[in-house]
Structure 1
Amino acid sequence: MRDLVYTGFMSLDGVVDSPGGGPGEGHRSGGWVFRDIEFVPDAFSLKGEELEDTTALMFGRRSYEAFAPVWRDSDDHAAYRELPKYVVSTTLPDDALVEGWGPTTILRSTDDVVELKKSEGGAIFIHGSAELARCLSDAGLIDRYHLLVFPVLLGAGKRLFSAADRDKQVLSLRESAAYPNGIVKLIYDVVG
């Protein structure tokens, strides 16, 4: 069984959207990761560490459309170029996939994600994709969370976890670290 890992930047009040300042999120706080917080390289070392475990990437449609054309040509993301990618979407047409960014498969349902998890291979990392992460979490399909929690309260924005009345999930802390700029790294395994 392949692990499905959500990785992301999160505000203290649980917002995960617009950390880099993308348009269209519907609130004024976009760009919060690199604004107002002192840059401490060690606080972002998790992103480099994840590369060793990443065997595939997964996105929701909007995150794929935002990341694919940028990450394809980015030297900072060169290690992702040839990795298999999966886009979970009921609306993305096959002809909208970005050329030159490795093999990409569109998954049309959570059942397709279940089948992918049963396949051979290593960890699949979800970047961005708040709505997809909530859906997969509610379905009990996420195995681990890699979070960098920032010392900001945004009030508005997409939340990583839903407010739905659902079965409890218990998490086990695998690793944590605190940095002088107030960022906290939290890595949790979902245990039940």
Structure 2
Amino acid sequence: MRDLVYTGFMSLDGVLDSPGGGAGEEHRGKGWVGSVEFLPEAFALKGEELADTTALMFGRRSNEAFAPFWRESNDHASYKGLPKYVVSGTLADDALLDGWGPTTILRSTDDVAALKKSDGGAIFIHGSAELARRLAAAGLIDRYNLLVFPVLLGAGKGLFSRADETKQALRLRESAAYPNGVLKLIYDVG
């Protein structure tokens, strides 16, 4: 069984929207990651994850935002050859970006569940707040790798559902606090 890992930057109030402030990001607080002093050790998790990443998963909108930028980015060159999965009921097969590596469209949560049962290593979800909430509700997320930033945004897409759902326990696998206020929190689900 493959692990499905959500990885991302999050504000202290749980917002994921527009951390980098790049083109296409419309959140009024966009670019909030850049408002915190850069310390390489606070971002080391992103590099550490590469050793475990055997595939990437996105929702349609996150794929449309990340693929064109990451395809051209030297910082993300190692992602090009990895298999990618885009979960979308509406994305046309011919809408996938050329030169971004092998990409498969999954049409449903059941398709994601079937992929998890296949052979291979960990699949990392980037961005994709709505997809992450849907997969968490279906019990498909195995781990959260979070960098929590000391900012309050007040509005935006959150990682966790606000619905009245059954309590879910998480087990802290690893944590660290950095002088710039960023927290690394890695939680196993269940």
TM-score (norm 1): 0.96
Q: Displacement, 1:22?
A: 4.2
Q: 1:97 to 1:8 in 2, by over 3 A?
A: same
- The SS at the match of 1:181 is coil
What secondary structure is seen at the aligned counterpart in 2 of 1:92?
coil
Residue equivalent to 2:91: 92
Counterpart-to-counterpart distance in 2, 1:159 and 1:102: 29
Deviation at residue 23 of structure 1 after TM alignment: 5.6
Structure 1 residues 77, 27: CA separation in 2 closer, same or farther (over 3 Å shift)?
closer
Conservation of the 8 A alpha-carbon contact between 2:18 and 2:26: no
How many angstroms does 1:27 deviate by?
3.7
Work out whether residues 25 and 157 of structure 1, in 8 Å CA contact, stay in contact via their aligned partners in 2.
no
Match of residue 68 from structure 1: 67
Alpha-carbon offset, residue 31 of structure 1: 0.7
Q: Which residue of 2 aligns with 1:153?
A: 152
What's the counterpart of residue 20 of structure 1? 20
**Structure 1 residues 98-137: Cα deviation after superposition (integer angstroms, max 9, x where no partner):** 1111110000000000000000000000001111111111
Task: Tell whether 2:4 aligns with 1:4.
Answer: yes
Deviation (angstroms), 1:9: 0.3
The equivalent residue for 1:124 is 123
Contact 1:26–1:157 (Cα < 8 Å) also in 2: no
Indicate the SS of the match to 2:186.
strand
8 Å CA contact 1:16, 1:130 repeated in 2: yes
Paired residue secondary structure (2:5): strand
The Cα offsets for residues 111-168 of structure 1, whole Å up to 9 and x where unpaired, read as 0000000000000000011111111111111000000000000001000001112222
Number of equivalences:
190
Give 1:76 deviation, angstroms.
Answer: 0.4
Give, in angstroms, the shift of residue 50 of structure 1: 0.1
**Cα shift readout 1:54-82 (whole Å, capped 9, x = no counterpart):** 00000000000011111112110011110
5+ long unaligned stretches in structure 2: none
Q: Distance in 2 between matches of 1:51 and 1:167?
A: 32
Name structure 1 gaps, 5 residues minimum.
Answer: none
**Matched residues, percent identical?**
79
CA distance in structure 2 between the aligned counterparts of 1:25 and 1:98, rounded to whole angstroms: 19
Is 1:102 equivalent to 2:101 in the alignment?
A: yes
Alignment CA distance shift 1:158-1:130 (3 Å): same
Q: In structure 2, how many angstroms separate the alpha carbons of the residues matched to 1:22 and 1:138?
A: 30
